[in-house]
Chains A and B, each alone.
Chain A
């Protein structure tokens, strides 16, 4: 598992408004890439273009290319549904399906598309996914209980289990810890470190320490002002970015002088 993603000259529009301009980057397989930057700089927007989730909002479009192992995800004949099965996503707020039990939530990616799965396969998948998200020990005795009854941190790990149950190549995380307390955050960060053995992980975070702790590479996005498009300022190894960034703006942001 885990593939590399090449982005070339990507412009992202909401209607006529250019939200993100000219992003070119490479996301390495089996590593954690962190996106940092001030609010509104387009890092979440950019993240959502990686699995064509931004198309869910009417009026959005992109120019440029996003290639996964040479296949342009925006090429003709590429089904966004297929893209999303390869590139999973975890959201800012935990969003388990409220009508489903813990077990059904994990199996949602299989069950919602009417795929048939044998009872024993389903049980194996539930266990491996929940073990993968470090939630198994906490919920193994109450798999039939509603997923919405778990704590916030557990719900987020349930959402991660749900995302990895469809065995994607890449996992996108949009500020996965911003609604969680420090203990749950730590649990998720440990989990990210484990997951990168098998998956390519891209994480958006507002927490600089978190970016420094979990990521291998860091990309800094910035925006020149309201109404201007967000841009990728700099991308490098996390250690380099946090010790000796090339750009002045990056240094200012990381050292807390703005944003």
Chain B
């Protein structure tokens, strides 16, 4: 307290009253300025997002229909009013699923090691290399998968599974990092509660730690999937390009949505010289935009699924 001792009790009370009644105009001004800046930043950040969605919808909706989703590009040429992305959807879904099946077990087991068992030099090195892996350019991951398979099957090999491997290289660090954070969030008290009941460590990890954090882990995995599902360069290298449907990850080239978009866009305008046939000059651009829209929708559906799953597994207070 800094009140001067020679003030009477009433004078002190008055001083407190005036101090309480005084407003600080400077702080109000600062508050308003900061509010404007923060809202401004928000609007600024929203502009590209809204513009992106708007552009994709405006350009993509024209060709986006059931026919487009259910046919491939087999036998489609020139400015024909035909062709679709069925083969690319199959490719994207299978290759991404393959990448998830490879990276999720590795990623989660690594995170379990780091959080539940690690602590020594090995854990430090693993953490370091996971960080390094996070920064690997996707094209390098593609080259890695390419040279790995070329080593065993000879040069010129193109397989769906090669794309899965390349994407898995990109996914693993993301899965490790997010799972690690989620496992760290599980209170130690729960592990101790489980040990005190005579539950062995591995069962504690599986049934208490993983069960408690599964919602966050699922979200992390979904983010990792969203990160790689739009990758183009490594897939172009490892999976190649094809116009017809290929369901088999382990045989032959496959088409994927990002590569499809790239391919269509790079083909450019179609010269329409024959007036007797139906010919759409910008058919390739239309297909590219519609495929882009499909890709965005797939990512959105995955996100929604992740939310549903994590809500289902999340710890609850009220049943």
Interface residues of A (CB under 8 A from B): 51, 53, 56, 58, 81-85, 88-89, 91, 93, 95-99, 101, 108-109, 112-114, 142, 144-146, 148-149, 159, 162-163, 166
Contact = CB atoms under 8 A, between A and B. Distances in A.
A8 B119 CA distance: 33
Contacts of A97: 190, 193-194, 208, 212
Contacts of B311: none
Nearest to B119: A58
A112 B187 contact: no
Contact of A98 (B196, B203, B315, B318): B315
B315 to A, nearest CB: 4
A47 B187 CA distance: 21
Nearest to A159: B193
Interface in B190-249: 190-200, 203-204, 207-208, 211-212
Contact of A95 (B193, B199, B204, B317): B193
Given A112-B207, A112-B208, A149-B318, 11 more contacts: A56-B192, A58-B119, A82-B198, A85-B198, A89-B196, A91-B193, A98-B212, A99-B212, A99-B316, A146-B316, A146-B318
21 contacts: A82-B198, A83-B198, A84-B197, A84-B198, A85-B198, A88-B197, A91-B192, A96-B193, A97-B194, A99-B316, A108-B194, A112-B197, A112-B203, A112-B204, A112-B207, A112-B208, A113-B198, A145-B319, A146-B318, A162-B193, A163-B197
Contacts of B194: 97, 108, 112
Choose among A91, A95, A145, A163 the residue with the greatest number of B CB atoms under 10 Å from its CB: A95
Nearest to B120: A58
Contact of B317 (A51, A82, A88, A148): A148
A43 to B, nearest CB: 17
Contacts, number: 90
Contacts of A114: 203
Contacts of A58: 119
Contacts of A93: 189
A85 B212 CA distance: 23
Contacts of B189: 91, 93, 95
A82 B315 CA distance: 29
Nearest to A165: B197
Choose among B196, B212, B317 the residue with the greatest number of A CB atoms under 10 Å from its CB: B196
Contact of A84 (B187, B196, B211): B196
A199 to B, nearest CB: 15
Nearest to A168: B198
A53 B208 contact: no
Contacts of A96: 193
A117 to B, nearest CB: 14
Nearest to B215: A99
Choose among B190, B198, B211 the residue with the greatest number of A CB atoms under 10 Å from its CB: B198
Contacts of A142: 319
Contacts of B316: 98-99, 146, 148-149
A95 B187 contact: yes
A44 B40 CA distance: 54
Contacts of A98: 190, 212, 315-316
B317 to A, nearest CB: 5
Given A93-B189, A112-B204, A99 B315 contact: yes
A163 B193 CA distance: 9
A93 B204 CA distance: 19
Contacts of B193: 91, 95-97, 108, 159, 162
Which 3 A-B pairs have CB atoms at the shortest separation, nearest pair first? A85-B198, A98-B315, A89-B196
Given A97-B208, A112-B204, A113-B203, A163 B196 contact: yes
A233 to B, nearest CB: 28
